[in-house]
Amino acid sequence: MAFIGAVKFLLQHLLLLCLFNYLPFSQGKQNWNEGYPFIRRASSLGYNGKSGGYDYIIVGGGTAGCPLAATLSKKFKVLVLERGGVPFNNPNVSFLHNFHITLADTSPTSASQYFISTDGVLNARGRVLGGATSINAGFYTRADPRFIRKVGWDTKLVNESYPWVEKQIVHRPKFSDWQRAVRDGLLAAGVSPFNGFTYDHKYGTKVGGTIFDRFGRRHTAAELLASANPHKLTVLIHATVQKIVFDTKGKRPKATGVIFKDENGKQHEAYLGNDRQSEVIVSSGALGTPQLLLLSGIGPKAELQKLNIPVVLDNQFVGKGMADNPMNTIFVPSKRPVQQSLIETVGITNLGVYIETSSGFGQSKDSIHCHHGILSAEIGQLSTIPPKQRSREAVKAYVKSKRDIPVEAFRGGFILSKVANPWSTGELKLINTNVEDNPAVTFNYFSHPYDLKRCVEGIRLAIKVVQTEHVTNYTLCERENAEKMLNLSVKANINLIPKHPNDTKSVEQFCRDSVITIWHYHGGCHVGKVVNSEHKVLGVDRLRVVDGSTFSESPGTNPQATVMMMGRYMGLKILRDRLGKLAGI
């Protein structure tokens, strides 16, 4: 009773606690700066606030930006501007058992910046060195070879770039009993063959890599900076880029530098050197990159003029073609204790859906039990509250309804069904000229009937997996019919929140009402529309984009491997194109 009483006390204070990353930054990895002497606070630029002569200015030290910077610094002077802090001394980022806490933290200093699409789906974007690799579920798997051919990348260079990442930060998962049961359930449900442990994208069931090591410590893209030349690289944290600066006197606008603010709100300027091959490279992610281009005057003229943004280049395609892979989940209760595991097993089907699984909750002694909150990863992000009803008021009502429910009631796992390559797309628009505010983004989930059709097939397959003896033998629960299973999924984590009356009888309605994200959104700066095949921004000079905003689909079952590889790949390609044999790399 004392334990349940303690949980009740914690739940009563959940909403307040979840607004702050309560663990002090002094905990976790100590003296991290000894290995990264080039990382400094943005205010370290000094009184005049100006610095120049850089060969490359990279906006965003995230999933692509870190490997890109490490590579380019081998030969050139590089400046990286990252709006967040470092992941190394933040235990909520570093440890698997605290995975849910950063996602539940909606404070201005969180490593995860909370946003809601206009569809109503809760989402998150990285706000820390290492980007999304610092806040995600860690799954590592390469792209489908078809994707590599489609984007026109050099296969040989791609196959050099993936291992560079893997040798530094990727690990083989410990593989829990829950993951083993789901693996066997996938095979029994016909998702075959079993391809074992592999980074490769192959039809069937497989176990992928993870950026969590065997001790449960996360290794992010920020650690790839350890491969940099420390004498040619400067990384400024808490440096929020306001806009790209252009010289518009010539025939074509030319990027010359950027304006950014430090942690104290002081404005600074950073400039490129005089070499015409020097560049500003934007690696701010699928939300941050189109947002920054728009704020800098590149985008649809009419939209820019509404916000009094001087037009540098009229391009109607900036912010268009945004997509997010819709995900739906089946909650699977268990009568036996379930060890916490994130994504390790995946079923790659020919239906156009991927089936994955996670289980358990972080139960570290430091946990504030945010897994009971709507914003957490395991319950909140996997909630089935209809999108339009996911509000802060819903959070309060949800927390109140959970006060008398002990942690043990949430023993179990989730089977996740993700629609691959959605045909439904949307757009991103500015709501104001403050770069720190999220833009308005619409994904239009299931607006195309083919996506809904695949969601239905995915949910039916997920139910089939749950009904196999491999899963029921593990959970010690009886085999349930489809409607009861959907009902369990709806009631497991929303209780009194109103729902569509048909959402457990109609799989189509269940898909619409329970759609969530798996954080694989992309687009907004497509190749051929905003950038060329070399990722140089069309219509301007000395400006390039290297991140997932250029993708028309999310690569593989999880994009992080390919985005990190992309940073290395583009870095190598830039060096070789610029220096030829002298690149020596």
Name 417's bridge partners: 328, 355
How far CA 82 is from CA of 127, 279, 314, 477, 490, in Å, comes to 8, 17, 27, 48, 39
**Is the predicted pLDDT of residue 9 greater than 80, yes or no?**
no
What's the CA gap between 238 and 262, in Å, rounded? 6
Residue 520 among the catalytic residues: yes
Across residues 289-314, what is the average pLDDT? 98
**Is the predicted pLDDT of residue 435 greater than 60, yes or no?**
yes
Ordered by where they begin, the domains of the chain are: 39-116+126-136+220-296+536-578 (3.50.50.60), 173-217+323-517 (3.30.410.40)
Tell me which residue of 583, 554, 572 sits closest to 164, measured CA to CA.
572
- 498: Cβ–Cβ under 8 A, 6 or more apart, which residues? 386, 389
128 is in an annotated binding site: yes
Across residues 294-314, what is the average pLDDT? 97
Quickly state the pLDDT bin for 395 (edges 50, 70, 90): low
- 215: Cβ–Cβ under 8 A, 6 or more apart, which residues? none
519 is in an annotated binding site: yes
What's the CA gap between 190 and 169, in Å, rounded? 33
269 is in an annotated binding site: no
User: Out of 470, 520, 526, 535, which one is annotated catalytic?
Assistant: 520
State residue 30's pLDDT score: 46
Write down the mean pLDDT value for the chain: 85
548 is in an annotated binding site: yes
436 is in an annotated binding site: no
Q: How many residues does the chain have?
A: 585
Residues 27-44 pLDDT 10s: 234 466 768 999 999 998
State residue 517's pLDDT score: 87
State residue 388's pLDDT score: 56
State residue 573's pLDDT score: 97
346 is in an annotated binding site: no
559 is in an annotated binding site: yes
423 is in an annotated binding site: no
Prediction pTM value: 0.88
Across residues 79-104, what is the average pLDDT? 88
State residue 428's pLDDT score: 98
**Is the predicted pLDDT of residue 231 greater than 80, yes or no?**
yes
Q: Can you point out the beta strands (E) in 84-193?
A: 112-116, 122-126, 139-140
State residue 108's pLDDT score: 86
Residues 244-255 pLDDT 10s: 999 999 899 999
